[in-house]
Structure 1
């Protein structure tokens, strides 16, 4: 599809392209079932798209944020279609997004981090969890790092394929460096792979596997808190904020192009708010 090729040309991630394709396939199936046949772009009305979003909400019980994501896909597609001259009618333009309640993002503090790491039995997953907590990398960025990307002498990580295919350099914490040296010398299996994090069987590690071990470990600990790789990224940012690191520096470390995105990671609990007020 030309639209998906257009996304690739804009350096959209594979995950974004896959998500948009899935959404568009769902919309197309809905419209074909509604009209019992092939539906042309010029035939689609705003009401058709509103009916689809209503179905997601009422029949499939999608949360507002998920419904809004489908609306975002529609708008993006129509923006492209209008620019290309496929249609002059932007059927998604009049539709308002649903109001979605803002969820307080989950994060773990330093004490919880130590408890979690201590409970992980798998040595390679243990070091990956430690790495994520101390670097704030996205899990895909972490697991695609090569041996050359992690410089333990200069204490620097070179992220070559960040979101939007952007590059950045992230300094390594002094607490993390000896753990990585031990991993590289004593834990990492001897495999024909240039991945820094590698399993003996595959020469790489999947994000699904890391999240599964995290889930099993938190269950073993009896935690109600859900901890994923992304929660570790948020924890990195939240703990930097707690230690008064400027949000612009956090933005650079996380690889965000927009400061608004970083601000969503900034977590302030009631205790911190009370401390803030006490300085007045």
Structure 2
């Protein structure tokens, strides 16, 4: 079976077991990159059974030389293993070649986050009202940017002060309470900012009837630059900030886990920040 035909079968399989749209989109992109790498190497499309462990290793080396971060390369290994597990079970290849790939060691770095004071400074530099409310929603709920732009009017219950996330990462649903600060912002948005358009998207522009993740990040980058900040700021950093600020204020880790939609508590624990002064105080206790 040709490589791209096998990839399409794998993606249909992911859809049949209810993997999320974003997951399938990401797998399609990464496996597409690998397919183009093979075409560049051999000048033709290989049968999936003829791909060798050397092909996989050459691709991983190519990613490293291209400057891809360890987290990105680790994700590629995970995708290869899932893809080859599918192929092996259907006897489309003799063995799961991806199991012979060395795992990529991902260095855990301190996560960047914004305090609420920094966030207020940042939003003061955003002159696009719809985007401003969208980023405020991310900061006060921890929503992923994809979840934010996909919210519909039915997903946001202002009477009950609840946001319903339908089909989040891993195709999981969750419920997020709306805090009082965000509630007032969203009421004003519905009454005075949201354009009258034929769209069920909660965040929408008059021109397109929707808002894109890319546009949100462009506006955030411009706002950050206007403040002359060196730190990176993106929609994902705002999600980090939500989690970090909750934990700083002693929110229970399992509650933060549920709000973020993490399946593993160890992932949530990465949001625990300790500055140098806190570490010095801890050492003095010995």
Same fold (TM over 0.5): yes
- Give the secondary-structure state (helix, strand or coil) at the position aligned to 2:127: coil
Q: Which residue of 1 aligns with 2:97?
A: 91
Distance in structure 1 (CA, Å) of the matches to 2:40 and 2:201: 46
Q: 2:10 aligns with which of 3, 11, 34?
A: 3
**CA, structure 1 residues 275+134, in 2 after alignment: closer, same or farther (shift >3 Å)?**
farther
Q: 1:132 aligns with which of 114, 138, 143?
A: 138
Q: Which residue of 1 aligns with 2:50?
A: 43
Distance in structure 1 (CA, Å) of the matches to 2:285 and 2:201: 48
Q: Which residue of 1 aligns with 2:276?
A: 270
**CA, structure 1 residues 75+262, in 2 after alignment: closer, same or farther (shift >3 Å)?**
same
Unaligned runs of 5+ in 1: none
Q: 2:19 aligns with which of 3, 12, 18?
A: 12
Shift in Å at residue 75 of structure 1?
Answer: 1.1
Unaligned runs of 5+ in 2: 1-7
- Give the secondary-structure state (helix, strand or coil) at the position aligned to 1:192: coil
Q: What root-mean-square deviation, in Å, do the aligned CA atoms of Structure 1 and Structure 2 show? A: 2.0
Distance in structure 2 (CA, Å) of the matches to 1:172 and 1:106: 24
Q: How does 1:1-280 map to 2 (within 5 A)?
A: 1-58=8-65, 60-274=66-280
**CA, structure 1 residues 38+173, in 2 after alignment: closer, same or farther (shift >3 Å)?**
closer
**CA, structure 1 residues 34+122, in 2 after alignment: closer, same or farther (shift >3 Å)?**
closer
Shift in Å at residue 105 of structure 1?
Answer: 1.4
Is 193-202 or 206-215 further displaced after alignment?
Answer: 193-202
Shift in Å at residue 279 of structure 1?
Answer: 6.9
Q: Is the 8 A contact 2:247 2:271 kept in 1?
A: no
**CA, structure 1 residues 269+10, in 2 after alignment: closer, same or farther (shift >3 Å)?**
farther
**CA, structure 1 residues 91+275, in 2 after alignment: closer, same or farther (shift >3 Å)?**
same
Q: Deviations over 1:40-64 (max 9, x none)?
A: 3332322221122112223x23232
Distance in structure 2 (CA, Å) of the matches to 1:270 and 1:244: 19
Q: Deviations over 1:182-240 (max 9, x none)?
A: 11111111222222222122221111111111011111111111111111111000000
**CA, structure 1 residues 278+246, in 2 after alignment: closer, same or farther (shift >3 Å)?**
farther
Q: Deviations over 1:114-153 (max 9, x none)?
A: 1112221111111112111111111121122222221222
- Give the secondary-structure state (helix, strand or coil) at the position aligned to 1:230: helix
Is 67-76 or 201-210 further displaced after alignment?
Answer: 67-76
- Per the normalisation by structure 1, the TM-score is 0.92
**CA, structure 1 residues 30+146, in 2 after alignment: closer, same or farther (shift >3 Å)?**
closer
Distance in structure 2 (CA, Å) of the matches to 1:121 and 1:33: 45
**CA, structure 1 residues 168+50, in 2 after alignment: closer, same or farther (shift >3 Å)?**
same
